[in-house]
Amino acid sequence: MEIAVSEAGPSDDYAIYIYRYDKEKIIFMGRIEGTGDDMSADGSGQILTYRRGSILQTWFYPFVFKEDKAGMLKGVEEAEYKMDTFVIVQKDLEVYASPTDKNVKFKLRAKEPALIVSSDDKSWCRIRDQYGEEGFFFVENFAQINGVDAQEYFSGLSYAD
């Protein structure tokens, strides 16, 4: 039998702590971000929830936790997570072909619309310009691009806490 204990956390950063009771002891299985309303479990050992992104802005993406062989819940990491944030470029930005190919693919121009499609939630974001061209830009220190705040490059980012 599993037991879930919820917490609101700072700034409403909700989490659920999952424990298993095996008739002899209580075993901590893991911590899952989100509220009970955000989660779904189908009995297969997987839990779907939403995780708060850790770069560029305040955003959330679907995330899967799966029970491993030891009975612990582990996050299933993906290469990219959907962001889908519409922005207006405020300052010209060179965009790379990929995180591993640092050749400039194209340049986003000030006053043009763009869509931040996804992120690895570590340091790279995929962006699509108004013509459908896609490339990547690098983010460091949560929301810095080329050493300046991301808001200098884009309007339309969300910052909530």
* Domain segments of the chain as ranges: 2-75, 81-155
Is residue 112 over pLDDT 90?
A: yes
Question: What are the angstrom distances between the C-alpha of 55 and each of 47, 59, 160?
Answer: 23, 9, 13
pTM score: 0.83
Which pLDDT value is given to residue 83?
Answer: 96
Q: Which of 17-21, 81-85, 140-144 has the lowest mean pLDDT?
A: 17-21
Is residue 120 over pLDDT 80?
A: yes
pLDDT bin (cut points 50, 70, 90) of residue 90 is: very high
Higher pLDDT, 41 or 72: 72
Angle among Cα 79, 152, 135 to the nearest 5 degrees reads: 35
| Third-level CATH fold of 81-155 | SH3 type barrels. (2.30.30)
By C-alpha distance, which of 114, 161, 122 is closest to 139? 122
